[in-house]
């Protein structure tokens, strides 16, 4: 159980275009989803936290107008990279939290590798 999928697995796009990445919880309802980005050989940096039905909370230094997050349902969150630039090339990973008490266990998706040319 507790499977999180991401689509696409990898994407190549041209500078100036927008790219949408989907994150789905397949067998549970995710009250909260998180978006991370990871540069090569580096750790994960949290970009934003999204709760179903409300606006995402962005971390300091993350442009909310550039990285649009929509958490439309308890099983789907999307991240749209608008007007992509080569420096946006990275590995984007989402995670989902089922909610409730206990350990704040997050289930991670397999990641989406974005390359902007």
Partner 1 sequence: GEDVEQSLFLSVREGDSSVINCTYTDSSSTYLYWYKQEPGAGLQLLTYIFSNMDMKQDQRLTVLLNKKDKHLSLRIADTQTGDSAIYFCARGGATNKLIFGTGTLLAVQP
Give the residue among 81, 92, 80, 88 at the shortest CA–CA distance from 115.
Answer: 88
Nearer to partner 1, 2 or 82 (CB): 2
Nearest to 108 by CA among 1, 2, 37: 2
Residue 80 interacting with partner 1 (CB under 8 A): no
Candidate list 12, 16, 105, 117; residue touching partner 1; CB under 8 A: 105
- Shorter beta-carbon distance to partner 1: residue 6 or 75: 6
* Cα separation values, 100 from 17, 29, 84, 103, Å: 39, 11, 36, 9
Residue ranges binding partner 1 (CB under 8 A):
4, 6, 32, 34, 42-46, 49, 57, 93, 95, 97, 103-111, 113
């Amino acid at each position: 159980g507790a499977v999180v999928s991401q689509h696409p697995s990898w994407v190549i796009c041209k500078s100036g275009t927008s790219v949408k990445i989907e994150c789905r919880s397949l067998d549970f309802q995710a009250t909260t989803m998180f978006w991370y980005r990871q540069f090569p050989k580096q750790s994960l940096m949290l970009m934003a936290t999204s709760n179903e039905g409300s606006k995402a909370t962005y971390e300091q230094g993350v442009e909310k107008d550039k990285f649009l997050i929509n958490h439309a349902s308890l099983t789907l969150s999307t991240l749209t990279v608008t007007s992509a630039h080569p420096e946006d090339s990275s590995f984007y990973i989402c995670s989902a939290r089922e909610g409730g008490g206990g350990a704040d266990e997050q289930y991670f998706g397999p990641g989406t590798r974005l390359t902007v040319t």
